[in-house]
Amino acid sequence: MAAIITLSLLGILVLYLGLFKAKSALLPVTLIGLLVALGCELALWGGDAKPIYSGMVVFDNFALAFSILCIVTTGLILLLSKAYFSSISNNVAEYYCLILFSLTGALMVSAYHNFAMLFIGIEVMSVALYILVGIRKTDFGSNEAALKYFLMGAFSTGFLLFGITLLYGATGTFDITGVREYLIANPQQISPYFYGGVLLLLIGLCFKVGAAPFHFWTPDVYEGAPILITSYMSTVVKVASFAGFLRLFGYVFVPLHDFWPPVLLIVIIITLFIGNITAMMQASFKRMLAYSSISHAGYMLFAIVALGATSTSSIFTYAIAYSLSSVAAFAGLILVKRAKGSDQFVAFNGLGKTNPFLAFVITVAMLSLAGIPLTAGFIGKFMMFNTVMQDYHIVLLLLAVVNAAIGVFYYLRVVVHMYFKTAEDEGGAIVLPLSFKVVLATTVALTLLIGLYPDCIIGLL
Amino acid sequence: MDNIIQNIQGIPLNHYLIFCSIIFSIGVIGVLIRRNVIIIMMSIELMLNSVNLLLAAFSAYRGDASGQVFVFFIMALAAAEVAVGLAIVIMVYRNTKSVDIESLSKLRW
């Protein structure tokens, strides 16, 4: 809880710093605050996890692991923001403050123990993002993305709430342990409200994580938003939503395990195919990453269908691998976009010659996203497929492998552009600021480390 | 207060459920078919308010206050959401001079 309080206060502090024109202090203060929050989370690790504040939140290792991942990813993204925000707006303090508030929501979603906290967490996380997406006020794309995101977000909140209400009608409690106990106590005569509630919750959460057939807002919003916000949305927000998803379906609805998995299976198969096949047809790197994030949502849903002893661990590993490589890819995209003014694949031409380090980092990130061995992405995919294998979903596994193969095609396309095509205008090397170097080196090192020694992550949960 | 709860309980629970589902569906259909952003936002409010009504009914039937407390959470957050949403609509209106969502179709695959 200390981390959530720290981050909320930090957001207000940052706003005041902006008021007093202390622009150069913004980033250091934010990063120090994130470190404090990280420390608070680490101090709780392995402790005796009991629901606190009248059963509102619970900081078990599951919640802590996902919170730590969210905080670290936000820190990496904020390091990239040094010159970025001031180049697109004068109100820099608002960016930091809104990202911090959104992060607070993400922590609540990963630690909720009551449906009220799930709802509040999702709203806090999204409302801050509606503003962040539309922060370039005069840009048409940003406007459109903000409006679409807002409408779809509010719409899906309606479904989520109706679902929660029906669950409340059936069980008489908002406490997730209470709901679980209701399911265990009455296995035969579960109220019909409950089934409706589960389905509506599923729809609401699928909207949030961008799983097909509720994915249609994702590419537009990811393309229209500023790149840094896109990277935040596709990593932190997605990871937190999956933590919430997994707690709900992997803990609360487990006793109902013969009802919802078929629905989720259909969602996964549609998500994988739509995400991968459309990603193949994109000419823009940013949009390709948006569609690839849809397909990764499909892979992460695997762990929820095939619940087993290792499913939390595998979804966590996958989330780490995905977040690290996405941050690296978006960092590369920011640099290339700034130098060449375009986010098409063509802009990456000849990068292997002019910027060997940057090209190497993007290559590792792409290989990790595609799931090639020796990278973290491979370990994540391997663990996912392994959980599904244990549950004998052979058809699902075959479809997933086909999709992984499609994925390799479009991820390697940017690598081909970097190493085997020459740029028309030799613009010279792109200058990498120090903070970018730090972020790129960290993400690559961690990706390779987890790829080589996966035990350091797998044993955690 | 007891009087109100008795009045609420005078109507069968299923009627509340059907009534709220109908309002919710009207909201959903409104979001899907209307083109005016303001009307879409009104439809979303309709969805949220049908949820509020249903929560209040369930809460009265079970004699449990937490459902009614949840209604306050929904109201507060819906207000915050609408405040941000209206700001976004104004921003869009300044750029496009329209609140029709058809005017926003620059991002397409």
Question: In the structure, what pLDDT confidence band is assigned to residue A309 with cuts at 50, 70 and 90?
Answer: low
Chain A closest CA to B60's CA: distance in Å? 11
Q: Give A212-228 pLDDT, tens digit per residue.
A: 888 888 888 998 898 99
Q: Give A101-142 pLDDT, tens digit per residue.
A: 999 999 999 999 999 999 999 999 999 999 999 888 888 888
Q: Which residues of B81-103 are buried (b: 16+ CB within 10 A; e: fewer)?
A: bbebbeebbebbeebeeebebeb
Evaluate whether residue A156 is within a structural domain: no
Gap between the Cα atoms of A51 and A251, Å rounded: 14
Number of folded domains that form chain A: 1
SS3 A56: coil
- Residue A240 scores a pLDDT above 70: yes
CA distances from A420 to A288, A351, A415 (A): 20, 9, 8
Evaluate whether residue A433 is within a structural domain: yes
Give the residue from A154, A131, A125, A155 showing the smallest Cα distance to A143.
Answer: A131
Q: Which of B47, B67, B77 sits opposite A123 (nearest CB)?
A: B77
The chain-wide mean pLDDT, for chain A, equals 89
Evaluate whether residue A422 is within a structural domain: yes
CA distances from A400 to A268, A381, B34 (A): 9, 10, 38
- Residue A327 scores a pLDDT above 60: yes
Cα Rg, chain B, nearest whole Å: 18
Spell out the residues 6+ positions from residue A39 whose beta carbon is closer than 8 angstroms to its own: none
- Residue A330 scores a pLDDT above 90: yes
pTM over 0.90: yes
Q: Give A332-381 pLDDT, tens digit per residue.
A: 999 888 888 888 888 888 888 888 899 999 999 999 999 888 899 999 88
Which residues does chain A have within 8 Å of residue B50's beta carbon, measured at their own beta carbons? 162
Which residues does chain B have within 8 Å of residue A151's beta carbon, measured at their own beta carbons? 31, 37, 40-41, 44, 85, 101
Token representation of residue A134 = 């539309």
Which residues does chain A have within 8 Å of residue B40's beta carbon, measured at their own beta carbons? 151
Q: Between chains, do B74 and A130 touch, taking CB under 8 Å as contact?
A: no
Token representation of residue B105 = 């179709």
Greatest CA separation found in chain A? 71
- Cis check: omega of the bond before A356, within 30 degrees of 0: no
CATH number at residue B86: 1.10.287.3510
Number of folded domains that form chain B: 1
Share of chain A above pLDDT 70, in %: 99
Most A CBs within 10 Å: which of B22, B59, B71, B104, as the mutation test of the A interface? B104
Range of the domain at A377: 260-461
Looking at residue A339, its pLDDT comes to 85
Evaluate whether residue B108 is within a structural domain: no
Chain B closest CA to A135's CA: distance in Å? 10
Range of the domain at B15: 2-103
Gap between the Cα atoms of A327 and A292, Å rounded: 14
Q: Between chains, do A168 and B37 touch, taking CB under 8 Å as contact?
A: no
Q: With 0-12 CB in 10 A as exposed, 13-18 as middle and 19+ as buried, what is A382?
A: middle
Q: Between chains, do A119 and B73 touch, taking CB under 8 Å as contact?
A: yes
Q: Between chains, do A219 and B109 touch, taking CB under 8 Å as contact?
A: yes
Cβ pairs A/B, distance under 8 A: 121
Looking at residue B107, its pLDDT comes to 59
State the amino acid at position A333 in one-letter form. L
Q: Tens digit of pLDDT per residue, chain B (109 long)?
A: 678 778 878 888 899 999 999 999 999 999 999 989 999 999 999 999 999 999 999 999 888 889 999 999 999 999 999 999 999 999 999 988 888 887 776 655 4
- Residue A152 scores a pLDDT above 60: yes
Q: Which residues of B touch A (CB under 8 A)?
A: 17, 24, 27-28, 31, 37, 40-41, 44, 47-48, 50-51, 54-55, 58, 62, 64, 66-67, 69-70, 73-74, 77, 80-81, 84-85, 87-89, 91-92, 95-96, 101, 104-109
**Residues A75-90: what's their mean pLDDT?**
82
Q: Between chains, do B107 and A116 touch, taking CB under 8 Å as contact?
A: no
Looking at residue B106, its pLDDT comes to 64
Q: Give A37-65 pLDDT, tens digit per residue.
A: 999 999 988 877 788 888 899 998 999 99
Evaluate whether residue B97 is within a structural domain: yes
- Residue A25 scores a pLDDT above 50: yes
Q: A314 and A303 in contact (C-beta within 8 Å)? A: yes
Evaluate whether residue A162 is within a structural domain: no
Q: Say what angle helices A376-390 and A434-452 make with each other, to 10 degrees.
A: 40
Evaluate whether residue A150 is within a structural domain: no
Searching chain A, which residue's CA lies closest to the CA of residue B104?
A: A144
Q: Between chains, do B74 and A161 touch, taking CB under 8 Å as contact?
A: yes
Evaluate whether residue B109 is within a structural domain: no
Q: Between chains, do A169 and B58 touch, taking CB under 8 Å as contact?
A: yes
